[in-house]
């Protein structure tokens, strides 16, 4: 069984991180790991067509590989956030190396928003990020689009659980590209049927 909604107990244990958006009439789409040549342009076209402003948590090394795609994200009015330079897992990385990775990406991404890859951070890393003025963004609904055991149809079914204020986690990377293209239009449709609006994180 895979959790799409993050249990409230987990959210309360890490209360210094932001799990939900402020507006309960809206949902907050977020896309991690890009820019990616297989999915980001398709994603930007869909979001423009559906009028869905979103927040992209970008990996520094990917920005350097695909600067035009990154500039397109920004020029289309989406918000951006820092997702480290090499997608490091916090609990497997020294604090010094981790913060250095974040700072290296700060030179490419002008944002105080930060999302830890895999949601993993040590206490020291979290404290250091807070001292640097970062807002640590998590999620309340996880699409599981990276999980090879979860079908696009399952993601669409679980989208009925989405509520106002939810921060939604999707990915713009090669592993998730095919699944994203199959499920995201339907997820957007379901959210619109719930009469919820769309907002970027700030």
Tens digit of pLDDT for each residue in 100-143? 999 999 999 999 999 999 999 999 999 999 999 999 999 999 99
Buried b (16+ CB within 10 A) or exposed e, 84-122: bbebbebeebebeebbebbebbbebbebebbbbbebebb
Q: Is there a contact between 54 and 30 (Cβ–Cβ < 8 Å)?
A: yes
- Total domains in the fold of the chain: 1
Beta strand spans in 18-177 (E): 26-32, 55-58, 79-82, 113-114, 135-136, 141-142, 167-171
The answer to whether residue 47 is domain-embedded is yes
The answer to whether residue 3 is domain-embedded is no
Give the pLDDT score at 3.
86
Give the pLDDT score at 156.
98
The answer to whether residue 95 is domain-embedded is yes
The answer to whether residue 104 is domain-embedded is yes
Give the pLDDT score at 1.
65
Phi, psi of 151 (to 5 degrees): -85, 160
The range of the structural domain enclosing residue 119 comes to 8-198
CATH value at residue 155: 3.20.20.370
| CA–CA dist 27, 192 (Å, integer) | 10
Kindly report the number of other CB atoms within 10 A of residue 34's CB atom: 26
Beta strand spans in 36-112 (E): 55-58, 79-82
pLDDT in tens, the chain (202 residues): 688 999 999 999 998 999 999 999 999 999 999 999 999 999 999 999 999 999 999 999 999 999 999 999 999 999 999 999 999 999 999 999 999 999 999 999 999 999 999 999 999 999 999 999 999 999 999 999 999 999 999 999 999 999 999 999 999 999 999 999 999 999 999 999 999 999 999 9
Could you give the 3-state DSSP secondary structure of residue 82? strand
């Amino acid at each position: 069984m895979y959790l799409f909604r993050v249990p409230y107990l987990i959210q309360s244990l890490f209360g210094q991180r932001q799990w939900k958006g402020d507006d309960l009439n809206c949902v907050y789409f977020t896309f991690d790991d890009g820019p990616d040549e297989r999915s980001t342009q398709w994603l930007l076209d869909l979001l423009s067509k559906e009028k869905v402003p979103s927040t992209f948590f970008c990996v520094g090394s990917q920005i350097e590989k695909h600067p035009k795609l990154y500039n397109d994200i920004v020029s289309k009015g989406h918000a951006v956030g820092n997702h480290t330079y090499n997608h490091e897992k916090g609990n497997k990385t020294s604090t010094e190396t981790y913060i250095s990775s974040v700072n290296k990406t700060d030179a490419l991404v002008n944002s105080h928003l930060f999302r830890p890859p895999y949601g993993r951070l040590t206490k020291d890393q979290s404290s250091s990020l807070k001292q640097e003025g970062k807002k640590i963004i998590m999620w309340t609904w996880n699409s599981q689009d990276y999980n090879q055991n979860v079908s696009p149809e399952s993601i669409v079914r679980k989208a009925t659980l989405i509520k106002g204020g939810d921060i939604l986690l999707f990915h713009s990377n090669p592993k998730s590209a095919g699944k994203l293209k199959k499920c995201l239009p339907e997820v957007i449709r379901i959210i619109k049927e719930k009469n919820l609006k769309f907002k970027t994180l700030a």
